[in-house]
């Protein structure tokens, strides 16, 4: 084992990469015990961490996720939160959110998705959520997108001071599902209804055909071809009615 590998394991911030299977764990949560990711087979999951209970940025994020939970559920996606605080702290914090906190027009917000107790930091270390350059005992704001086959598909990390953009988290989820469903790629700032990208041509013949065939594709050059994908078609295939 190389020295860099040893030091990385010692400080506990190795992380799963895109395409890896999501590391397995069993944990106590505010919704009972879970076995991850096996309990979520067949579903997309957003596993996200926050630094600490009873902190304002985390409170704003949990309220927003809870407010959007049904929207994510209609896209076949479950939410699972984590911090290194204990179960009773979690329960007290979530009760405070429901009873006392109002943010961005949201109030009386009940967090129904599981919040993992991780006092030992076992799960946080498995997922590279503890990054000593930022904080040695608090998890950064990590977001893992895990697909129905328990494969890590995307990872976003934010520092402790920066609240997440939930429009982008939802957009990324829908974009990945669209890519899977229609075998396309999505360009910068893509939203359902925008044109999608076709994979670059793999041969000279295909490249020439694309440049002369104007039925379905719009080709800026042989390697850059787009096509229209109706918004209703995307949402009908992905979003539960």
Of all residues in the chain, what percent carry a pLDDT higher than 70? Answer: 88
Q: Which residues pair with 25 in a beta bridge?
A: 36
What is the pLDDT, as a whole number, of residue 3? 38
pLDDT tens for residues 147-189?
999 999 999 999 999 999 999 999 999 999 999 999 999 999 9
58, 77, 219, 225: the catalytic one is 58
Pick the CATH number of 183-238 from 3.30.70.2190, 3.30.1020.10, 3.40.50.280, 3.40.640.10: 3.30.1020.10
Listed by start position, the domains of the chain span 3-163, 183-238
The CA distance from 40 to 73, in Å, is 12
Q: What is the mean pLDDT of residues 125-140?
A: 89
Integer CA distances (angstroms), 123 to 36, 90, 173, 185, in order: 10, 16, 23, 32
Query: Is 204 a catalytic site residue?
Result: no
pLDDT per residue over 28-62, tens digit each? Answer: 999 999 999 999 999 999 999 999 999 999 999 99
171 is in an annotated binding site: no
Spatial distance between the Cα atoms of 97 and 48, rounded to a whole number of angstroms:
18
CATH 3.40.30.10 fits 3-163, yes or no: yes
What φ, ψ does residue 204 adopt, rounded to 5°?
-65, -35
Q: Residue 236 and residue 167: Cα distance in Å, rounded? A: 20
Q: What is the pLDDT of residue 15?
A: 85
């Amino acid at each position: 084992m190389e020295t860099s590998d040893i030091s990385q394991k010692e400080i506990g911030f190795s992380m799963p990469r895109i395409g890896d299977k999501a590391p397995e764990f069993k944990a106590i949560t505010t919704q009972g015990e879970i076995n991850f990711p096996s309990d979520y087979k067949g579903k997309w999951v957003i596993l996200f961490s926050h630094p600490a209970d009873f902190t304002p940025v985390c409170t704003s994020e949990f309220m927003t996720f809870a407010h959007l939970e049904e929207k994510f559920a209609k896209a076949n996606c479950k939410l699972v939160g984590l911090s290194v605080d204990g179960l009773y702290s979690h329960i007290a914090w979530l009760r405070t959110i429901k009873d006392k906190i109002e943010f961005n027009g949201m109030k009386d917000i009940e967090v129904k998705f599981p919040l993992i107790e991780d006092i030992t930091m076992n799960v946080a270390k498995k997922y590279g959520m503890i990054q000593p350059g930022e904080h040695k005992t608090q998890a950064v704001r990590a977001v893992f997108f895990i697909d129905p086959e328990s494969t890590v598909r995307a990872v976003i990390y934010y520092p402790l001071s920066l609240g997440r953009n939930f429009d982008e988290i939802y957009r990324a989820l829908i974009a990945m599902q669209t890519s899977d469903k229609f075998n396309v790629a999505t360009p910068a700032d893509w939203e359902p209804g925008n044109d999608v990208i076709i994979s670059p041509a793999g041969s000279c013949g295909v490249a020439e055909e694309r440049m002369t065939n104007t039925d379905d594709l719009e080709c800026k050059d042989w390697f850059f071809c787009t096509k229209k994908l109706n918004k209703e078609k995307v949402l009908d295939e992905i979003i539960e009615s």
